[in-house]
Amino acid sequence: MKFGQLYMTLFNRNGYLLSVLFILILSVSAFGQIANRNPEELMNIDVDEKLGDQVPGDIQLINALGQTFTLDSLYHRDKPILLVMAYYNCPMLCTLVLNGVVEGLRPVSLSPGRDYYVLVVSIDPNETPQLAKAKQQNYVASMDKEGARNGMIFTVAQEEQSRSLADAIGFKYYYVEERKEWAHPAVVTLLSPEGVISRYLYGIAFKPNDLKLGLLEASQGKIGSAVDKVLLYCFHYDPDSKGYVVFATNVMKVAGIATVVILLIFLGLLWGKETVKKVGKN
């Protein structure tokens, strides 16, 4: 029996629901066949999270001016680092990730250069500082924040250096020869001011709240206002939702403390008024 005849028979006899089920079974089967063709390649696009690991400071990068520097030159400046592994000639994904980072950071009260660094490292060893400079200029203009010129660092690197950095953060990627493209995950990595891996954020769109809380967390209290630190206390990272969610217990603690403080202030004002009245009578 031909496919069309089989489909019509199922539809006529068992109705719409069974026909939809039949199509879903075919789709799952087809997906399984596709996935099984290149299991090794699919496994090579992943992130092996290494939270708490130290990223080596002796990794050498080349900035947009063609100057070579090491990662540890960014360490110990009381500024967390938002690290993006990408490449500038990427036809789609890298641009989406970088756009998502800038769009997510733009409304955040923290500023690059003053409060944190954005470090973009090319995974393509054939890319040049001139290309990095062009990308840097575009994204600095797009960010439109004071300090972005010094705080957004676009770099290239020799293959062994970029590979060492990728291995240190668990970023798995590979070169697709037939497509002349690099296959890689969509993720940003947050490092503490000392270069310790603090958090991974995934996707091509990043919520401003997640980026801000991630930077505050990575900074270990070294950036942000007192209000920001209270805000961080009330949120925690949820691996299932891949973002920061309200931590109800801490919210209740903060609310309780705030209530006590307000009550004490109110009682203090009442006590002050009574004292003034007594002094006036005397």
Q: What angle do CA 101, 153, 71 make, to 5 degrees?
A: 115
pLDDT in tens, 111-154: 999 999 999 999 999 999 999 999 999 999 999 998 999 999 99
- Name the token pair of 268: 């203090």
Quick one: pLDDT band at residue 31, thresholds 50, 70, 90? very low
Per DSSP, the three-state class of 47 is strand
Which has the higher per-residue pLDDT, 232 or 157? 157
What pLDDT, on a 0 to 100 scale, did the predictor assign at position 45?
86
How far is it, in rounded angstroms, from Cα 95 to Cα 153? 16
Quick one: pLDDT band at residue 220, thresholds 50, 70, 90? confident
| φ, ψ of residue 225 in degrees (nearest 5) | -85, 175
How far is it, in rounded angstroms, from Cα 201 to Cα 99? 14
| φ, ψ of residue 18 in degrees (nearest 5) | -65, -35
What pLDDT, on a 0 to 100 scale, did the predictor assign at position 119?
98
Q: Residue 248 contacts by C-beta under 8 Å, 6 or more apart in sequence?
A: none
| φ, ψ of residue 236 in degrees (nearest 5) | -140, 155
